[in-house]
Amino acid sequence: MASPNDSPKKAAADAGEGEIVGLGLADVIQIHQHNRFSGCIAIESTDGAGLLFFRDGEIIHAEQGGRTGEQAFYDILEWSPGKFRLQPNVTTTRSTIQKSAQHLLLDAHRVLDERRAGRPPAPPTPEPAPPPAARQPMRASEVLEKLRKIPGVDYAALHGKDGGQVGDDSYEAEVLGGQAIFLSMIGNKLGKIFQSGTILSAVVQGASKHLLLFATKSHFLSVVVKGEVQAGPVEAEVRKILSAGR
């Protein structure tokens, strides 16, 4: 039993058994959460007897009468002041409570207020969802793989502004690099004539094939489309994939 000269917090933290004097059960729980207590607190009150099991300061299981989990915890917290007994070596394999102790106490106060007011308890407050992971941009190889799978696309390649292939040493990529440079030069000349500025994209439609060109500050993307396929829908799919890959 704690000495009358001890502070309530010290008595609650150090005593193996004692009356909850000057502290409510919620205070005792918070103290043992802070101390990362593992074990069991047995509560005896004129209203009943219950058990709270802790692991590293978090409540993992509660039971009283025929109830377990959160409802048992709410009942115990509602009881009139009584005695508690610390059992540090007592553990359980049951895990009927997943909420943090702080979140559980907040929900308990809300439930008890509603019980006293005679209102049906509202649904429990959900644990805050973790922030969504930041989406990683797709690699150039992944983008090209998706572009080549678009129906009607014969080939797709990425080039530097000097026409050199990026991650693709094939003959098709080399040819596309030269075509991209030539098309860019023509486009930029037309841009000067029409005062529209540097070319950002171009579509050349032919009888046997179509060529789509997309330009950034440092690269060209060339996409060859089969002649029997309309270039417009393919261009829309390409832009969709490029937007998703950023």
85, with CB counted inside 10 A (0-12, 13-18, 19+), is middle
Structure tokens at 234: 């393919």
> Residue 156 in contact with residue 140, Cβ under 8 Å?
no
pLDDT on residue 133: 63
Write out the chain's pLDDT in tens, 246 residues: 334 444 444 444 444 444 444 567 888 888 888 889 999 999 888 889 999 999 999 999 999 988 999 999 998 888 888 888 888 888 888 999 998 888 888 888 888 888 777 766 656 666 667 776 655 666 777 877 888 888 988 888 887 776 666 767 777 777 777 777 777 777 677 767 777 677 677 788 888 888 888 877 777 788 888 888 888 888 888 888 877 755
C-alpha distances in Å from residue 39, one per residue of 103, 203, 217: 20, 72, 63
Burial call 119-154: b when 16+ CB within 10 Å, e when fewer: eeeeeeeeeeeeeeeeeeebeeeebbebbeebebbe
pTM of the model: 0.42
Measured between alpha carbons, how far is 74 from 99 in angstroms, rounded to an integer? 13
pLDDT at 31: 87
Q: Apex CA 85: angle with CA 84 and CA 91, to 5°?
A: 125
Distance set, CA 213 to CA 74, 138, 159, 196, 203 (Å): 66, 20, 11, 17, 6
Q: Tell me what pLDDT residue 125 has.
A: 60
Per-residue DSSP letter, 165? B
CA-nearest of 6, 38, 39, 44 to 25 is: 44
The pLDDT score that the predictor gives to residue 2 is 38
Whole-Å CA distances, 169 to 174, 192, 230: 7, 33, 28
225 Rama class: left (phi>0) / alpha (psi -120 to 50) / beta: beta
* Domains delineated in the chain: 8-117 (no CATH), 140-244 (3.30.450.30)
Per DSSP, the three-state class of 164 is coil
Alpha carbon distance 201, 191 (integer Å): 11
pLDDT for 120: 62
